[in-house]
Chains A and B, each alone.
Chain A
Amino acid sequence: EAQVTQNPRYLITVTGKKLTVTCSQNMNHEYMSWYRQDPGLGLRQIYYSMNVEVTDKGDVPEGYKVSRKEKRNFPLILESPSPNQTSLYFCASTRDRGPGELFFGEGSRLTVL
């Protein structure tokens, strides 16, 4: 089954404790991206990657890091989480050519205390 898998789905952590949210897709997609979703603000892009070893900042990259060492994986790293990073995070992927349907993961709800 074609899917985008995120882990963990839920996480409560404390300020300053490094964490990684993993994202994996099994559709051989070139393009992967991370979004955060906050009430009233919709989906905002954090980082995206057009292919292996190619990453770029989205609209709200501050406080986040990403890496793309393999085509299927695109982890989101919070080196020193702060309470304003409490949010619902989505990973998505697509072929970077053609109609460009974004396939989203199920989301990771992060709470930083």
Chain B
Amino acid sequence: KNQVEQSPQSLIILEGKNCTLQCNYTVSPFSNLRWYKQDTGRGPVSLTIMTFSENTKSNGRYTATLDADTKQSSLHITASQLSDSASYICVVISFGGGSYIPTFGRGTSLIVHP
């Protein structure tokens, strides 16, 4: 069964500090991996997409990495801001038998304190 595991479940950091969120997956066949940011009470919004051949991708202060061999991804947030407080969801996409299949992690809840 396809699974996506995220850690930590929750994280509290001080404004200006860096942090790294982890995502481990067992999804086959693998198409791509996305990190989404979800503000409280809002819909998730895509931050980055990683395909099989990509190791690192940045979007401003967000940098995602992918190790397809170990099936691990990380999201690094640099110089955190109060607006980074949100839930971060790892989603692994599989295309199989003509079907588009997303598998969701349960998310990491990040709180940035001033």
Contact = CB atoms under 8 A, between A and B. Distances in A.
Nearest to A105: B43
Interface of B: 31-32, 34, 36, 41-46, 49, 51, 89, 91, 93, 95, 98-100, 102, 104-107
Given A43-B89, A44-B104, A88-B41, 10 more contacts: A40-B106, A42-B107, A43-B104, A90-B43, A90-B44, A99-B49, A101-B34, A102-B46, A102-B102, A107-B43
Nearest to A50: B99
Contact of A100 (B43, B102, B104, B105): B102
> How many interface residues does chain A have, given as a range?
20 to 34
A43 B106 CA distance: 7
B49 to A, nearest CB: 6
Q: Is the interface of A mostly helix, strand, loop or mixed?
A: strand
Nearest to A35: B104
Contact of B32 (A90, A92, A99, A106): A99
11 contacts: A4-B43, A31-B100, A45-B102, A50-B98, A90-B43, A99-B93, A100-B93, A101-B46, A102-B44, A105-B43, A106-B43
- Among A88, A101, A106, chain B packs the most CB atoms within 10 A around the CB of A101
